[in-house]
Amino acid sequence: MQTEQSPTLLGRVREVIRYKHYSLRTEKAYVGWVRRFVVFHGRRHPREMGAAEVRAFLAYLASELKVAAATHQQALAALLFLYKDVLGIELPWLAELERPKKPKRMPAVLSRLEVERLLTAMDGTHALMARLLYGTGMRLMEALRLRIKDVDFTRGEIMVRDGKGGKDRPTVLPTSLVASLQAHVQRVRLLWERDRAAGRAGVYLPEALARKYPSAVQSWGWFRFFPAADLSLDPRTGIERRHHAHEQALQRAIKRGLDAAGIAKPASTHTLRHSFATHLLESGYDIRTVQELLGHSDVSTTMIYTHVLNRGGRGVVSPLDGVGLR
């Protein structure tokens, strides 16, 4: 009988994930959930289990560990992937599983003045990255995964590759950032030239692209726009190469910027994306345009920002404000 420690089960999970071109982050998450599921049930093989065991594990996450709805949904997605895609088992009990509902929450949004204070409090490359997030509406990982070729200074456009849902989309290149970004590119070019002179491995490319364009891994156009300062081992191949900058470094820099600017809101890198959308709508841009820039599949997702515009109880003036008390 296979166990959780057997490389066959988890190895097969990784194999199918890579075949489907899922991200490394998804691979780590799904493998982790499969491992926890098997261990929770005494290392029984998933083929010996079904709806009751899946439901018991999810109930444990919700009642004992009190995980968030998003975490609960991710665990369920991992187990459904295991049974359907890895083990090839039909799931007649799938409809019986209750999916946790995410609570509807309004996104945190910074005012224009707060954005100015935050960005002013930051410096260096992290300040440039934060300005780019706010100026383009990109998600954190979309910005970090940019390649040199994706930023078109002539057209004033940035091409976001393989965004959420595996889609590409164009977004605006802020004119006010052009000079800073071009100076940044010159610094990055020197780093790329040093890597080439040292004979270091090129950047990571998806396997299909690496096979089709074998020289692209070392070409300037495919180099990371925001490369890491140090080399690291590729977790899938074991090759030492230069990846993109680490997301936690920017997240921490923004946290320090918020503290320095005296902003008490629980803001993050994603708050800059929310602020980008809200401020565009405040400026009168069409919601369909904002939808395209954000890469939303459905305009209903973008509609949440129209609710953010309705300040103070949907824009209602409190009757207390008309009484004349001071």
273 is catalytic: yes
Domains of the chain listed by start with CATH number: 7-96 (1.10.150.130), 112-308 (1.10.443.10)
Mark the ranges of the chain whose per-residue pLDDT is less than 70. 1-7, 92-100, 102-103, 310-326
Note the pTM of the prediction, 2 decimals.
Answer: 0.79
Report the distance separating Cα 274 and Cα 128, nearest Å: 18
126, 131, 274, 296: the catalytic one is 296
139 is catalytic: yes
66 is catalytic: no
270 is catalytic: yes
pLDDT for the residue numbered 2: 46
pLDDT for the residue numbered 311: 55
pLDDT for the residue numbered 1: 44
72, 126, 139, 244: the catalytic one is 139
pLDDT for the residue numbered 104: 73
Token output for 4: 């959780």
In 199-282, at which residue ranges do the beta strands (DSSP E only) sit? Answer: 232-233, 240-241
Q: Which amino acid is at 168?
A: D
Instruction: Find, among 173, 182, 222, the residue nearest to 202 by Cα.
Output: 222
pLDDT for the residue numbered 325: 65
296 is catalytic: yes
> In sequence order, which residues have a C-beta less than 8 Å from that of residue 322 and are 6 or more positions away?
none
Tell me the pLDDT tens digit for each residue of 189-222. 999 999 999 999 989 887 777 788 888 899 999 9
12, 55, 161, 164: the catalytic one is 164
pLDDT for the residue numbered 204: 87
242, 243, 273, 279: the catalytic one is 273
Give just the sign of the alpha carbon dihedral 245, 247, 249, 251.
positive
Category of 302 on φ-ψ map: left (φ > 0), alpha (ψ -120 to 50) or beta = alpha
